[in-house]
A and B are shown apart, each in its own frame.
Chain A
Amino acid sequence: MLTDLLGIPPQVLFGQLLLGLINGAFYAVLSLGLAVIFGLLNIVNFSHGALYMLGAFATLALVQFFGIGYWGALVLAPLMVGALGIVIERLLLRRLVGVDHLYGLLLTFGLALVIEGTFVKLFGASGIPYAAPAALSGGVNLGFMFLPWYRAWVVLASVVVCLATWLLFERTKIGAYLRAGTENPKLLQAFGVNVPMLTTLAYGYGVALAAFAGVLAAPITQVNPLMGSNLIIVVFAVVVIGGMGSIIGAIVTGLAMGMIEGLTKVFWPEASATVIFLVMAIVLILRPAGLFGKTA
């Protein structure tokens, strides 16, 4: 076998590939949320990482204060964070309509500092463990590797949510409105569609996606206030690689980058932290608009 030739045990190779796939699933869900928000608001949501972290903390809070477990949190945490997103959009981002888009980036950067700084102060920078649900504990031996159920679930759930988002955008009426709003908001407004409301909902939905990823991540990485702060930079690189033009593009790029990162961990561990940035540099040289992007 190829793996034996390279002197890498298949257990290690497939184990890292699975880990990569999981990271890739997070990249996909997060970059998808960024793309949805970017489509209607034309801003890059720098607080995406902080809101992802809030999703994980909401999961903790739900079990601690209300005794609501993982499955409830999977629905409630994105709703809670999505509601917060709607407040942020209405209260703050709404005021930046018509201003240079860079200010949106700066505003959400400031928000990320506030949210993360507050949580570091309250909970410290160390992680808080969260147990995976009992139904998904254990795993199955596939012969060439051990597959923990929870990890399989994370990949499955992410892909399902991404595909559902794609269906929502491509096959429903509200999706058609959202795409029209991305294309030409003024004309859409002239047709009698409430574009400001649509924009608010798009931000809420994008943010809820981030929180969903946060809930999925809670049992894997320990819940900690800075869990989203470095992740968001990698997700930015993924967005540059894929281009924000297409939903399928975001999903494919996210998963692929996770796998590449996993493979790098096996063959050249020192480079695993930088490989995605390297891919970004190469893509920028060969295809500046991004793999799925249309214009620079």
Chain B
Amino acid sequence: MKTKLAYLLLLALLLVAPFLVYPVFLMKLLCFALFASAFNLILGYGGLLSFGHAAFFGGAGYFTGHALKVWGLPTELGILAGALGAALMGLAIGQLAIRRHGIYFAMITLAMAQMAYFLFVTSSFTGGENGLQGIPRGTALGLFDLQNNLTLYYFVLAICALGIGLIARTVRSPFGQVLAAIRDNENRARSLGYDIERYKLLAFVLSAGLAGLAGATKTVVFQLASLTDVHWHMSGEVVLMTLLGGLGTLAGPAVGAGVIVTLQNYLASGPLSAWVPVVLGVIFVICVLAFRRGIVGELRALIRNSF
């Protein structure tokens, strides 16, 4: 009952939000909330630290940009193409990375994503340093003109809600339970007869595809696909968002994404704009040292302790 009320309240808030806050900023927030939630699926619930998720986020941006601008696909199909492309990249990179554990997994995903970065820099369809600009937003279902920021906002809200809903559903499904079992004790899960490589790979592909969905949607919002989104800094940022919000919690990554994106926006316009990486680095260090449960995790512990 209480949670239902909370969800309704959140929904109401999200529906009126564009009348109070600049919609483009809100859309950026939503995209990163989905990105971090997708990332949390593999780190928080699968226990696998991927340091290459920028490849899926930014890669999908390029695929969608190309599909919309050159092929002239409808917006929905273009976004789907981006997510699908990211999932395929996830399949290729995941196949390699799940052969090793722990820190090796992190190093392999980072290296493969760096390789993808170089391929994106040199291939002609991405526009190199300039990126893809002026990508058309098109219409939703052929009816609603997405050039209008308010219309686009509800379109983006629907996509991100679906994406995060899918993640919540996955986590609570039997598949999600097995995934958590593998995270907590891999050998035990194996001895119970689960094909853990398949579970890990599927989780990785799902996470990559959803990260791609976020990147594809962001490309439609900003009508731009650029190298920033495939650079490894972006992989680091999504780790930070998830960690700051709270690993392995449903709301955490969205909260973390909200804090980081707001902070970046705030700093970018002030005298501290050049210090953004340093500020992010400091937050990283503080989080790891003193704050490993993240905002949502700490709040939850606080509530549990005070009742």
Contacts and interface: CB of A to CB of B under 8 A. Distances in A.
Interface of A: 43-44, 92, 95-96, 99, 101-103, 105-107, 109-118, 120-121, 230, 233-234, 236-237, 239-240, 270, 273-274, 277-278, 280-281, 284-285, 288, 296
Interface stretch (B204-212, B256-264, B282-290): B282-290
Report whether over half of chain B's contact residues are helix, strand or loop; otherwise say mixed: helix
B236 interface: yes
A234 B103 CA distance: 15
Contact of B107 (A95, A240, A281): A240
Given A110-B281, A112-B281, A284-B96, A102 B101 contact: no
B108 interface: yes
B49 interface: yes
A277 B114 contact: yes
Given A236-B110, A285-B96, 7 more contacts: A92-B289, A111-B285, A240-B111, A278-B115, A284-B99, A288-B99, A296-B104
Given A99-B292, A296-B101, A113 B280 contact: yes
Contacts of B103: 43-44, 101-102, 105
The residue among A101, A115, A120, A237 with the most chain B CB atoms within 10 A of its own CB is A237
Nearest to B280: A113
Given A107-B285, A240-B100, A296-B101, A113 B107 contact: no
Contact of A239 (B107, B115, B282): B107
Interface in B97-125: 99-104, 106-108, 110-112, 114-115, 118-119, 122
A76 B224 CA distance: 48
Contacts of A233: 110-111, 114, 232
B119 A102 contact: no
Contacts of A92: 285, 289
Contact of A106 (B99, B243, B278, B280): B243
A41 to B, nearest CB: 11
A114 B118 contact: no
A237 B243 contact: no
Nearest to B283: A110
Contacts of B118: 273-274
Interface in B261-304: 274-278, 280-285, 287-289, 292
Shortest 7 CB-CB contacts between residues of A and residues of B: A110-B284, A113-B281, A117-B277, A114-B281, A277-B115, A117-B278, A288-B99
22 contacts: A44-B103, A99-B292, A101-B102, A102-B102, A105-B103, A106-B239, A107-B289, A110-B280, A110-B281, A110-B282, A113-B236, A230-B114, A234-B114, A237-B107, A239-B107, A278-B115, A280-B111, A281-B112, A285-B96, A285-B99, A288-B100, A296-B101
Given A113-B236, A281-B112, A103 B288 contact: yes
Given A110-B284, A111-B281, A117-B277, A284 B106 contact: no
A102 to B, nearest CB: 5
Contacts of B277: 113-114, 116-117, 120
B284 A106 contact: yes
A237 B232 CA distance: 14
Contacts of A234: 111, 114
